[in-house]
Homo-oligomer: A and B are copies of this chain.
Amino acid sequence: MAARGAYAKGVVKREEILEAALEIIGSRGYRSASVRGIADEVGISPAGLLHYFGTKEELFVEILRTRDALDTERSVGRGFAESFLEVVRHNADVPGLVELYTRLAAEAADPDHPARRYFLDRTEAMHGAVREALTEDQQQGRIRADLDIEWVMRAGHALADGLQNAWILDPTIDMAADVAQFFALLKP
């Protein structure tokens, strides 16, 4: 069933564009991440592309949303720490997306930028999903009793984000191993 304002074909085309863009940016890097670059790859004009997404900024935010959805899909059935590490590990295979993510994270400072909503929602969703599990871990004695779970979430999240900065400069860094070491520090 088509959503109001978009026929089935449009919705399908949108998906198609997003998946293509995800693939291109992930493998070929951020340099291909211009409206023109993506339009060329998808076989459409820049204006045709923007017909679906309005602006460049919204297009890029949608690309990250699609990536998140795929990451979430891939981690069903796994525990929190395992899923998290798997996502971090997978990031090392898609350098262009890491760059796109860090760019939009900076642009999210602008209150009018759609990336702001995206990151706010994403942080809330991630922390909401994890808060309970970590609290349980702490009550079961798997996490030091003197740690504030809110701090653990902020720090874990920030560590993963910041490691991407370092990895961009030096891809030999093992982001997942460094995050795992942080988890190890939380144990009593």
Contact = CB atoms under 8 A, between A and B. Distances in A.
Interface of A: 29-31, 95, 98-99, 102-103, 105-110, 116, 119-120, 123, 147-148, 151, 154-155, 157-163, 165-166, 168-170, 173, 178, 181-182, 185
Nearest to A160: B162
A155 B181 contact: yes
Number of copies: 2
B169 A108 contact: yes
Contact of A173 (B105, B154, B173): B154
15 contacts: A95-B109, A99-B106, A105-B168, A106-B165, A106-B168, A109-B168, A148-B181, A154-B163, A155-B181, A157-B166, A158-B163, A158-B166, A158-B178, A159-B162, A161-B162
A170 B116 CA distance: 10
A158 B162 contact: yes
